[in-house]
Amino acid sequence: MIIVMKAGTATADRDAVLKQIEELGYKPHLIHGTTRDVIGAIGDERGKLILHSIEAMHGVESVLPILKPYKLASREVNRETTRIRVSDTVVIGGDEIIVMAGPCSVESEAQIMESAIAVKAAGAQVLRGGAFKPRTSPYSFQGMEEEGLKLLARARDLTGLPVVTEVINPETAELVAEYADILQIGARNSQNFALLKKVGQLKRPVLLKRGMAMTIQEFLMSAEYILSEGNQQVILCERGIRTFETATRNTLDLSAIPVLRGMTHLPVIADPSHGTGNHHYVAPMAYAAVAAGADGLMIEVHPDPEHASSDGPQSLKPSSFTALMAKLRLFAEAADRRL
Ligand code: PEP
Ligand code: MN
């Protein structure tokens, strides 16, 4: 059930509602909207008649059932897109298109520093770089691990860019959260429920990638795992799904963006690098994603893609990324957004 509070309700009245929900045996989730608060009461839907008694409490505007299987992620709980504050200047889900750029993997101090300086100069607002890499082959480069996290933190100190980096298991999640501003859950882990619950307990925004064979509803159910643990800061990322097509690494499902927009209040970004697997297709699909309503982009950029330890073929050189960003401004404007 969703309890919609009246605009400007006193904190004491709101707290009384939260307490009452708990006493009725439900788990309350407070969602701050720009004009009013909404409380999700999660528990046995058969007891919804009991929850309706809350309608009589001070400050309560209405009590409504959430009809979808994903509850806290549902658009029904928040008509406005949730804004996720990453740093003093970076907010995801507002007017500004947020671009997260950098190499697939952190490889050395020189490589991540050069990447960070280049993507910042081109206008990216977040630095990406994997320190723990989920590789299809156990023989491929697995990442620099904690040393890579330290280098990312140093790149943040140098440039001021917040960093997003992947968490691959619950055991190292807290370590990653010590260094990262955004925790990335990769496509391969998008239904690792133990990991989703773990990042749900950490106080960091989570970038959740869509699994390669995941329906949009399953994607939202994974987001629900994080939200239901108490972490309301979830950003969804469409990164391509596996189809019969072999001309691209994945099929970037851009139709998922407007579909998700209707289904959820969570911000949605697109990753045209993993979505296509080929640097030639990254810019056109980045523009298309913004036209489709994406709140941001994740783009792989490497100073020397030919020698990258991972995902070189889909990585842009800094010069191509700079050109992409210049043109992206026009698409952002056409979509009533800014960059
Ligand atoms: C990545 O961002 O480098 C990555 C491994 O992405 P995905 O999980 O989408 O494959
Ligand atoms: Mn990659």
Each residue's pLDDT tens digit, 34-84: 778 889 998 876 666 677 789 999 999 999 888 889 999 999 888 899 999
Distance CA 263, CA 217 (A): 9
Q: Is ligand 1 within 6 A of the CB of residue 249?
A: no
What's the 211 CA to ligand 1 centre distance in angstroms? Answer: 10
**Whose C-alpha lies nearest to ligand 1, atom 8?**
186
**Whose C-alpha lies nearest to ligand 1, atom 6?**
186
**Cβ-proximal residues to 81 (8 Å cutoff; 6+ apart), any chain:** 93, 261, 265, 266, 267, 295
Q: Is ligand 1 within 6 A of the CB of residue 302?
A: no
Distance CA 220, CA 197 (A): 14
pLDDT tens across 211-237, in order?
999 999 999 999 999 999 999 999 999
Q: Are 5 and 61 in contact (CB under 8 A)?
A: yes
What percent of the chain is predicted at pLDDT more than 90? 88
Task: Give CB contacts under 8 A, 24+ apart, made by 221-226.
Answer: 221/69, 221/70, 222/185, 222/190, 222/191, 222/196, 223/70, 223/73, 223/264, 223/266, 224/70, 224/71, 224/72, 224/73, 225/193, 225/196, 225/197, 225/200, 226/196, 226/197, 226/199, 226/200
Give the global pTM.
Answer: 0.95
Tell me, what's the pLDDT at 33? Answer: 76
Residue from 32, 28, 10, 30 nearest 20 by CA: 28
Tell me, what's the pLDDT at 42? Answer: 86
Q: Is ligand 1 within 6 A of the CB of residue 239?
A: yes
What atom in ligand 1 is closest to the CA of residue 105?
A: 3
Q: Is ligand 1 within 6 A of the CB of residue 265?
A: no
Q: Is ligand 1 within 6 A of the CB of residue 187?
A: yes
**Whose C-alpha lies nearest to ligand 1, atom 4?**
186
Distance CA 101, CA 293 (A): 19
What's the 104 CA to ligand 2 centre distance in angstroms? Answer: 4
Is a pLDDT exceeding 70 seen at residue 27? yes
Q: Is ligand 1 within 6 A of the CB of residue 14?
A: no
Domains (range + CATH), the chain: 2-64 (3.30.70.1140), 84-334 (3.20.20.70)
**Whose C-alpha lies nearest to ligand 1, atom 10?**
187
Q: Is ligand 1 within 6 A of the CB of residue 130?
A: yes
Please state the φ and ψ torsions of residue 299, each to the nearest 5 degrees.
-135, 130
Q: Is ligand 1 within 6 A of the CB of residue 272?
A: no
What's the 180 CA to ligand 1 centre distance in angstroms? Answer: 16
Residue from 97, 19, 98, 105 nearest 58 by CA: 19
Substitution candidate for ligand 1 out of 271, 282, 299, 301 with most atoms within 8 A of CB: 271
Is a pLDDT exceeding 80 seen at residue 288? yes
The pLDDT mean for the chain works out to 95
Substitution candidate for ligand 1 out of 192, 195, 239 with most atoms within 8 A of CB: 239
- Ligand number nearest CA of 129 is 1
Across-strand partners of 269? 237, 296
**Whose C-alpha lies nearest to ligand 1, atom 1?**
104
Tell me, what's the pLDDT at 324? Answer: 98
Tell me, what's the pLDDT at 1? Answer: 87
Helix axes 193-200, 170-179, angle to 10 degrees: 40
